[in-house]
Amino acid sequence: MPVREALAALPVQDEDRTGYTRDKFRHWIDADRDGRNTRNEVLLEEAVTAPEQGARCQLSGGSWYSPYDDTYFTGTRALDIDHLVPLAGAWDSGASSWTAKERETYANDLGDARALIAVSAASNRSKADQDPATWQPPAAGYRCTYATDWVAMKTRWGVAIDHAEQTALTSVLDECPNAPIEVTLAR
């Protein structure tokens, strides 16, 4: 589905943070019981140079690319795993009505590579729980991908956008190359 069509199909409503706490989204679990939590699964999947896995799946070495700031990193300490649509943003947009299990599934979503992304700790903390209306990746060349992935994740999880978010996403997509941008869904 074209990204503009997907964006137009998203419900638009005011956000509501009432009752939100991060602990309502159990995250970094080991869903497949292979000894690696979600964070390590993402780090292994996104490694440019594979890290070594030690006891209890401790990772050392390796290298990663943070598309938010167009920077390469070695070692995992400089990286955070970002929920593309932050937990608070999902809550504000409809996840408040989900079950605890649905929120856990969202927080550990390995079913779509766009949901969780290894990025520099600095860029992730700069973003915090903001949406595209108040935060864009510092690397301007990644903004089209970011906007498209944002729409895909909101669509995938059936959550709403607010008016400011809709305006910001439209503005970013207006600046994207003329090539058709598709939103593919897998859930």
The domain locations on the chain are 3-174
Alpha helices, H only, the chain: 3-9, 38-46, 87-92, 100-107, 121-127, 143-157, 163-174
Give me the residues of the chain with pLDDT under 70, please.
178-182, 184-187
Torsion of Cα atoms, 94 then 96 then 99 then 102, to 10°: 50
Query: Residue for token digits 């299990």?
Result: 101
Structure pTM? 0.94
Please tell me the predicted confidence (pLDDT) of residue 37: 96
Q: Check: CB of residue 154 under 8 Å from CB of residue 82.
A: no
Please tell me the predicted confidence (pLDDT) of residue 179: 55
Please tell me the predicted confidence (pLDDT) of residue 166: 98
